[in-house]
Structure 1
Amino acid sequence: MKINLAGLMLCTFLVACGGTAPFGEETDVVEDGDEEIIESDRTVPPGTANPTSDDLIFRKEARDDEGGNGFATGVSYNSEDDTFSVDNLPFDGSDDTPYIRGRAVGSLGQYAVYEAVEQYPDSANGSTINQFTHRAIYGVSRSGQTEFAIVRSGAYVNYGFGGFVYQRNGDVDLPTTGQALYNGQGAGLRDYNGRGGLEYSTADVQIAIDFGDFNADTGQYEGAVDGFVFNRRIFSQDGTEITQNVLDRINEGNNASLQSVPTIVFRIGPDALDVNGEIVGTLGSRFGNDSGQAVTYEEGNYYGIISGDGANEIVGVIVAETGVDPSADNVRDTIGFTIYREDRE
């Protein structure tokens, strides 16, 4: 399916548009999420301490001791039995009970879904201990050169403990002129702050990169990044689509008539792209209510890495949070994606 970028660009100006392979090595990560790993005006997530364009880059969600972000460690996919391992999350089983392929929802598009065990025995007497709800999404690109994973829990009143990781396994030959368009799909986990609950999300993801501008006035590589997350859908844990249910309560609480989840739009500015192929920036979404007022729906960030000899794929994670859903204080959508720069037919 071909997507018209020019049509999507209009949304920028409108109020409403609808063997185990572990991630990274612990010896090569920076634990301080506030440290600027690359010399620039921006901050990338913790991970590879000295990234280059010629090698693996690993990133993980910055740890927040109060909010529970970034606690997931030891993330790995086990190809021999199609299971998924995560460490450092309480009450999600143990080392002998990895996450299994989701029973009600085993995949979201091309991305695999895994779930933790529901019960675990007392190690002394075998008594049954109920475990917390945990879900993981794992994605690997068609080339195998990029991958991501997201782990969230719906068992806490607040967001709870989880995390995300994303990784480039090879190198990138990054252009210094011209532009590129990437298309594909994303899949995510929605969790709630103010009540328990966990849901799935899907979307189309499109990113455009101008490799020639902004100019590198600071002596750094400064391209520009634009992007959209659209055709967004929401599903319950049993796989039932609940997009309209979510829209109904948002409309009721905000005097609105939304017919689709608002499109996420990347904010364009300098320092979004570096010479190693990493992209970071902010994003948001808005809609117009029935009184003609613009309402901010979401605020958040995007993180990603470009890969390939032709800079032909991007892996990344988008985190967008809304405070206008009346069912909770906040709702967070964490979306992973692998998208591609396709040859024209």
Structure 2
Amino acid sequence: MIDNEEYGYRRTTLRVLLAVTIFAASFFAVNNWIAGFHLFAVIEGGVAAFWCWILIFAKSTKYLQRWSFIYLCTFYFLVIYGILITTFKAGLFSWLFIFPILSYLLLGIKAGSWITFISVSGGLAVLGNMVWVDNHEMHWIVMGNVGFTLAAIWSMVYVYESKREYIFNHLREQARKDPLTGLLNVKALNDTLADTLKIAQRHSYPVTLVYIDINDFKQINDMQGHQKGNEILLAVAQTIQELTRVEDYAFRYGGDEFCIIFPNCVHEQVRQTFGVRLIERVKLNLDNLTMSIGYAQTGPSDFCLPDTLIHRADKNMYVVKSILKSSDSFHEWQSGNETG
């Protein structure tokens, strides 16, 4: 799935390319009509009009990659058709040089590689056919120059786009992580929970959210120092990661609070497996550190909103915390079932 930043980058690129090529297609349509290539001129004019239609909604369409693909296909058809019906002197083959650039800019590495391979192979095949039929305007040396130039452009664009996507994905991943614990952060929680609930609703399976708060964490910071507090947060985060499944999502919600999303799990299953093990492991390894844990489930039939599910888990956590505060002996409690 392409995120909003990536869509914005590719959306701007498509709109600029449309504006430039609409002008170019219109200009050459007039010239080709004057030169006697009436059918080609009509096709160019029709394609330019079609691109104008794409340009109108390119700013807001949800199907940006699909329309980028359609734009590239119509552009490629126009160039190849022009090469076939005009003379070599027209220089239409020079447009082949920008297809590797356009493909990677608009579609990224995977789709861009396929489109580049098809467009470059097809373009070279058309030029090779002109040599094969002994076109006096074409020579094998020209074919070689075109081929090596396309290969050089393709290689440079591939390296650039690979590095750009790597850096972009790395920065995006860093922006989603808590710098101290390495868990996902609260921004990632909102996005991930919304996506998880959409998938769960589509497949009709439950989702359980766990809300964890470390008891008396402020006292630990005040009495033992923030360094000790950070060590405890790191230890709790590591324990959470060790006890969750690959398909689960763990987050540092803020301060001494953590959230975990358990797709396709009812709350009782999570409480009896993850919850019990977490309490035992933390007590054993962290000098009887205690936590308040709240659970909230939604689905598999009726689903609540992400904010509602977080609020319910938070509320259940505070119920546990209030019980612990009013208890004479400090034992672990966990909240009851809540389905929404």
Please give the TM-score of this superposition, normalised by the length of structure 1. 0.23
More strand by share: 1
Greater Rg over alpha carbons, structure:
2
Work out which structure has the larger RCO, using CA pairs closer than 8 Å and 6 or more positions apart in sequence: 1
Please give the TM-score of this superposition, normalised by the length of structure 2. 0.23
